A and B are shown apart, each in its own frame.
Chain A
Amino acid sequence: MWKDYSAGYIKHNRSAGATIIIAAFISALLLSLLCGEFYNLWKYEVERIELEEGGWQSRIVGELDEADIEAVRNFAHIKEAVVNEAETKGQETVLDLCFDHMGMVFEDTPRIAELVGIPPEDVTYNYPLMAMYLVRDSSDRAPRLLFPMFLFILVLASVSLIVIIHNSFAVSMNGRLHQFGIFASIGATPKQIRTCLLQEAAALCAVPVLAGNAFGILGSMVLIHLTNVLLGSDIPGRHRAVFGYHPIVLGVTLLATVLTVWISAWLPAWKLSRCTPLEAIKNTGELQLKRKKNYRMLTLLFGVEGELAGNALKAQRKALRTASLSLVLSFLAFTIMQSFFATSDISIRETYFERYQDVWDIMVTVPGAEVDSLQETEEIQSLPGVERAITYQKARAKRLISQGEMTEDMKSFGGFSHAAGSEVVQTEKGWVVNAPVVILDDTSFLAYCDELGIVPGLDGAVILNQIRDVTNPDFRHPDYMPYVKETGTSVLLQRGNEEMAAEIPVLAYTDKEPALREEYATLDYYELVHFLPASLWSKIKGQIGGAEEETLICVLGKGQVTGEELSSLQGEIEGRLSGAYTVESENRIQERELNERQINGMKTVFGGLCLLLALIGIGNVFSNTLGFMRQRRREFARYLSVGVTPEGLRKMFCIEALVLAGRPVLITLPLAVLAVWGMLKMSYLGVREFLAEAPLVSVGIFMLGILGSVALAYYLGWRNVKRMDLAEVLRDDTMM
């Protein structure tokens, strides 16, 4: 019997059935596409991190023997503890740890380090990897917004898709409350009605949901392929994205769609069970006012049509709430996404390309070379196209800062009281801080002395004597101040064994660093950086060691160089070195092009997603508007029959469309402004800097898109109403 009823209903209400089928298909498709795409983006990011940083979760470095390693391996919840041969240098062993659960990493690693007697500063965490699993630690200062951003957008999109399915159901169900009321009045139990609705939903949606999911997976496969093509998988430094799909993703998508369909079908049954059969019978699918309400504004502005429109809007409040919500959501997501790109764009440019504009054109990495013995330095410096070439090597050391050495400025913001254990260790005599050593070749060091305006010499160091006000979290606009009081000598301590020390003269204290593509004191604010000439380093390296295994050459070309000139210079330099070493080099112009290409690729992909979101929102407007147009035929017929002119009806339509489209825009704008403000606050960008690049045009186009699509939906509705046969609509009292 229910089968007859459902079949009959579907047959006689093709458009309602079709709306549901299409909505279910599209939503399943988009949801599965989105989930698949996001899963793959996430997977790609994880793979990239694992490739670049390694798959370890935390790492301890120090002198470890077999027994120590065995002890670590036996520690609870340790999945893996592997000695990293590649990173291990000298006597210090690098032990990579993986835990059973990521949540334990930040808790257990310090305990393990303590167990095997490793100081906390020799523990490192794979923060980027952990962030991809939403595991964060408070000592990690980088924002790492990518994954939360993913999730946020995914949730937004899912919610609006779910709203679409739900809506298309609700519209057709509302009209049938009357029929179910009749069923109830002749003795159908709530359970019978529920079963009927669920069966019907299953019959209508099973195929589209499955097909939608399948096509979604297919679509994300194609998208990944496109991404590979767009971003170019041949670019060095970018690994190829391989399409992957996890059963969990399929499970989540299917669950979300099935649950939505189920809830959408179940809801009318629930509604029905909450009212008496009589109330259900009286529900004709027409929207009715619960209470009388006056729309003075609209009446004043537009006369009686305004009042009618106001009442209609009020009566449709529920249906419109979902439309408004989905519009607000998609508009918001769009605006936020655009602003996010604008800010990150500005951020990359400011911190990277513009900042190093006059610092480097070519960076060469020479593994295994030592700065004080690299013969080719002078040769490179005298190449015709080279303005400046600085050969340098980095080393890690420690330095003690006593109470008396701290400047008053430094003390004023609390001295070392804000420092973490991995940065500063307090001892009886003072605080032991990290002292990165940057060793420049002698020629460059003398040039650097000239730049600083001090007497050039190769027997001492220059100290970068500045510390930022650590209480000011604005990393984009730090306040610098002198760190230590100036004295004639500085004592560098060996890292890991502070008994070993080397006392060196200090030529100058400065706040001006040499022109290198390096950043100092960004992660550890308490670093005290020493610049040393190579010849001095030769004398003391036996005492403190700690040098990195590679030497770098930072080359700046003469004048305005073109990409081609730079490439040939790069080839020349590599040629000089390739005899003795295997070198790697980067070139600023190429790098910039690569970066731009990547960002453009990202923008295309994300822009596509934005468009998708927009389509979802607009699709919702259509399903809603066209849906209630169908519902309201009787209402319009009645207006016409009492003498409202078609002109008047059209005016009413225009007013409704205006209010419907205007409201989400008015709601979204302040929210979007708030969201952008928060983003600026988080990344410490100024409002003016942002406004210059603000995505005003695209947001404006989106807004017009919303207005336009609502107008179009109403126009189509209007065409239907115009064509309607008045007599038939009024006669059709099987719907009473």
Chain B
Amino acid sequence: MDILKCEGVRKVYGSGDNEVIALDGIELTVGKGEFVAVVGASGSGKSTLLHILGSVDKPTEGRVTIDGTDLSKLNQTQAAIFRRRKVGLVYQFYNLIPTLTVRKNILMPLALDKKKPSQEYFEEVVQTLGISDRLEALPNQLSGGQQQRAAIARALIYRPALLLADEPTGNLDQKNSREIMDMLKLSNLKLKQTVIVITHDEKAALEADRILTIEDGRIISDEWRR
């Protein structure tokens, strides 16, 4: 069953002389439970694609359907609620709220829905990510790797249909990178989470079920490994 479908997605920045075509006719379907890696040269349009899938950015043309919802049909409020419940986004820079503790940062998507977290699931997530002893700290009191784990925990807390990660290991050393990738893999296996991850790290990409290569805004190869 397809959880994600892109049809003719195009993204153009600027106009006239400054025009940059970041994405040019992306056609893509991803099934439930897949682990997809996206690779490509710098500036090829990977982040742009991911932001559009996460509905934090809008395509210039084309249609994106996630879990049966056509993103272009959503108004702002609906899009916000959709993001809250259906997708978890992890950025290269962690984007935590600097004035809230790690615990509050992680629980934010639930709090926005006025929902109580399931204590069990919360424990499981923070345990798995190894930040259970840093929950009361403020983000800037954590290392980069710890901040990234907190960001991933936040993305997972609502059990989203789709986890999107943009170079989650870009700022980390080898050991931390490896651990983060393992965790994504684990959540993919254990929680049946669909994961799309952008990476520059070829070794990391090899962990994936499927590798997409993007060049100049186009998917030039779509390789199944399993």
Contacts and interface: CB of A to CB of B under 8 A. Distances in A.
Interface of A: 1, 4-5, 8-9, 11-13, 179, 182-192, 273, 276-279, 281, 732-736
A433 B84 CA distance: 86
A192 B84 CA distance: 13
Contact of B97 (A13, A182, A184, A189): A182
Given A276-B56, A278-B57, A734-B139, A192 B98 contact: no
Contacts of B104: 1, 4-5
Most A CB contacts (10 A, CB to CB) among B56, B83, B108 go to: B56
Contact of A186 (B76, B77, B84): B84
Contacts of B108: 1, 183, 186
Interface stretch (B88-96, B124-132, B202-210): B88-96
Interface in B10-65: 51, 54, 56-58
Given A182-B95, A186-B109, A8 B100 contact: yes
11 contacts: A1-B112, A4-B104, A5-B97, A8-B100, A183-B112, A184-B80, A187-B80, A187-B109, A192-B112, A281-B91, A734-B96
Given A186-B89, A732-B140, A734-B139, A179 B77 contact: no
A1 B154 CA distance: 15
Given A182-B95, A277-B56, A190 B76 contact: yes
Contacts of B109: 186-187
A13 B99 CA distance: 9
B58 A190 contact: no
B111 interface: yes
Contact of A179 (B57, B97, B112, B113): B97
B77 to A, nearest CB: 4
B48 to A, nearest CB: 9
A11 B95 contact: no
B17 to A, nearest CB: 11
A281 B99 contact: no
Interface string B60-73: 00000000000000
B81 interface: yes
B85 interface: yes
A187 B56 contact: no
Contacts of A192: 80, 112
B96 A273 contact: no
Given A179-B98, A187-B109, 7 more contacts: A1-B107, A4-B104, A5-B99, A13-B99, A277-B57, A277-B83, A278-B51
A734 B91 CA distance: 12
A365 B109 CA distance: 87
B95 A281 contact: yes
A185 B90 CA distance: 10
Nearest to B78: A189
B112 A185 contact: no
Contacts of B140: 732, 734
Contacts of A276: 56-58
Contact of B154 (A9, A186, A190): A186
Contacts of B84: 186-188
Most B CB contacts (10 A, CB to CB) among A5, A179, A187 go to: A187
B95 A185 contact: yes
A179 B95 CA distance: 8
B151 to A, nearest CB: 10
Contacts of A273: 76
A58 B215 CA distance: 86
Given A4-B100, A5-B100, A273-B76, A187 B95 contact: no
Interface string B110-145: 011100000000000000000000000001100000
Closest 3 CB pairs of A and B: A187-B84, A1-B111, A8-B99
Contacts of A183: 97, 108, 112
Contacts of A736: 93
Contacts of A8: 97, 99-100
Contacts of A11: 99
Given A4-B104, A185-B83, A191-B77, A12 B56 contact: no
